[in-house]
Amino acid sequence: MLDTMIDAHIRCLQGLKSMASGLENAGAAMLQCLLGGGKLMICGNGGSASDAQHFAAEIVGRFEKERRAYPAVALSTDTSILTAVGNDYGYDEVFARQVEGLGRPGDILIGISTSGGSENVVRAVQCARGMSMPTIGLLGKDGGVLKELVDRAIVVENDTTARIQEAHIFILHYWAGLIERGLIGDGENRESAS
């Protein structure tokens, strides 16, 4: 079983090589958002909620290098908001309501969904688009309905949720590295220009 899982994991990650351009472009868009004073808002359910929190921590804290903090918010972390909105408006609105209250044009919403069809992520993306916020989908399987809704769709085409999630965290680490390199480079350029 271990050999089978490792082999499947490697095959899934090898497939990311063909997505290099899309991955780099999405990372560059997030970097420009942060350099322009915007923030990243990330949402997902279950393991994808954990990935959202993990990615936000890499941006606000650090990934590998010392630098100042940048704004990123995982929309799955505030239990009072989640339970109030879930109770008053329904669980499908728990992320959209936060996008409406916290988002602004120039921010980016990253929706994570292994199925590509999580209704609360779909509604968050629809809300963000209505507010002129760019959207990125980190998706699985065939991308689901979110593939057509987001501005940039990153789809890990695999049918096994665990393999998709493993690829998603790899992609998030790749983006964190790209963003951090750009943020540090920007800071060094500003210092040398002073």
**Residue ranges at the known binding site:** 45-47, 54, 58, 87-88, 113-115, 118, 165, 173
19: which 2 tokens? 């997505």
Identify which of 172, 113, 165, 120 has the alpha carbon closest to the alpha carbon of residue 143.
Answer: 113
Binding positions for substrate are 45-47, 58, 87-88, 113-115, 118, 165
Binding positions for Zn(2+) are 54, 58, 165, 173
Which position has the token pair 């209250």?
Answer: 101
**Distance (Å, rounded) from C-alpha 79 to C-alpha 83?**
6
